[in-house]
Amino acid sequence: MRILGIDTSCDDTACAVVEDGERILSNVVSSQDWLHERFGGVVPEIACRAHMETILPVMQQAADDAGVDLRSIDAVAVTTTPGLIGALLIGVTAAKAAGWALEVPLIAVDHLQAHIYAAWLADDKPALPAVSLVASGGHTSLYLTQGPLRHELLGSTTDDAAGEAFDKVANILKLGYPGGPAIERVAAEGNPRAVEFPRTWLAREGFDFSFSGIKTAVLYHCLGQNASKEDIARADYSPEFVADVAASFQQAVVDVLVGKTCAAAERTGAAGVIIGGGVAANGPLRRRICEDASRMGFKVTPAPLELCRDNAAIVAGLAFHHHAAGEIAPLSVAASP
């Protein structure tokens, strides 16, 4: 069964064709990073306009790359939640039109479940039950996962998402957008023990996260209290200073993400650990979770590197399981943020 997947939940326009939930025939992502870079973050109106302009060419490209005619598609799947509402609507509208025109079923997919499903597209399947960490620009959540469609929320961020913290700290350090890859790159040259940034554990026995404190701590460390936007714009740091702050910040975030994920796996008696979402592309995070969780006896299945960031192969893959479970969406299905 060939499913066309569509994801426009944030700032990437993505379409993919996946066969039987596991063979990726194509995976096209049109990145808007260059449009949002000078604003230091995603501007929803700009994202929406770019989605409108690119969704049809990206859909056609996904069919061409897969070597299939769109008329041979068996179902159309789309992310309906969560995300930027205007951005989601464009993908959902395109999916409805395609499903109706091609006379095939429409399947609604949850973006966070799709990030977890990336682990099923790895060479080695995840061990279940698993504790799944989804860390992206908009979310940081832990789930107890029993299957591709069965996730129980254990905890989530009470303020900023982990990726958002990477983006904001990159902005303070003047490293550009998106911040995660830029921080990882310069952190490789720095000392992760140079600055002792706070690790916010909240209730030790709970699984919620908080990343706004560390962002403020970085700002105070770099520019003191009461720093304005102009101070950030005028700042002139040495490359060594930036590398040390980036490395120390990254280390603190990784400590918390890995610490909470391992604690959750232990408490729930899970057999495996899954990580997905844009932040799961982070090398030090992948290494630490593999080391620590494996040492504790959990089988770790990180999302394949190329499927961490937003894409539609994870949407089309997960949709296969919805279809098998008879979960077809009506043409009236709504997008929700």
Where on the chain is the footprint of Zn ion (CB under 5 A)?
136, 310
The option from Zn ion, ligand KG4, none interacting with 160 (CB < 5 to 8 A, set by class) reads none
User: What is the distance between the alpha carbons of residues 118 and 318, in angstroms, rounded to a whole number?
Assistant: 9
Region from 44-52, 85-93, 194-202, 272-280 binding ligand KG4, contact rule CB under 6 A: 272-280
Bridge partners, residue 301, by sequence = 274
Task: For residue 75, give the 3-state DSSP assignment.
Answer: strand
Of 14, 7, 18, residue with least CA distance to 73: 18
One residue of 99, 148, 180, 317 binding ligand KG4 per CB under 6 A: 180
- The yes or no reply on residue 7 touching ligand KG4 (CB under 6 A) is no
Question: Which entry of Zn ion, ligand KG4, none binds 190, CB below 5 to 8 A by partner kind?
Answer: none
Does 282 interact with ligand KG4 (rule: CB under 6 A)? yes
Nearest-angstrom CA–CA distance, 41 and 124 = 35
Task: Tell me the C-alpha distance between 17 and 11, whole Å.
Answer: 20
> How do strand 75-81 and strand 106-110 relate by DSSP bridges?
parallel
Span near ligand KG4 by CB under 6 A; candidates 100-108, 134-142, 196-204, 213-221:
134-142
91 touching ligand KG4, by CB under 6 A: no
184 vs 310, which CB is nearer to Zn ion? Answer: 310
Report whether 280 contacts 303 (CB < 8 A): yes
- Nearest CA to 251 among 276, 287, 225, 278? 287
**CB nearer to ligand KG4: pick between 164 and 244:** 164
Q: Check: CB of residue 66 under 8 Å from CB of residue 103.
A: no
Pairing of strands 2-7, 12-19: antiparallel
Name which position in 117, 143, 166, 320 contacts ligand KG4 (CB under 6 A): 166
Please give the residues from 10 up to 69 whose contact with ligand KG4 meets the rule CB under 6 A.
Answer: 10
Q: Which residues of the shown chain bind ligand KG4 in the complex (CB under 6 A)?
A: 10, 136-138, 163-164, 166-167, 178-181, 184, 277-279, 281-282, 309-310
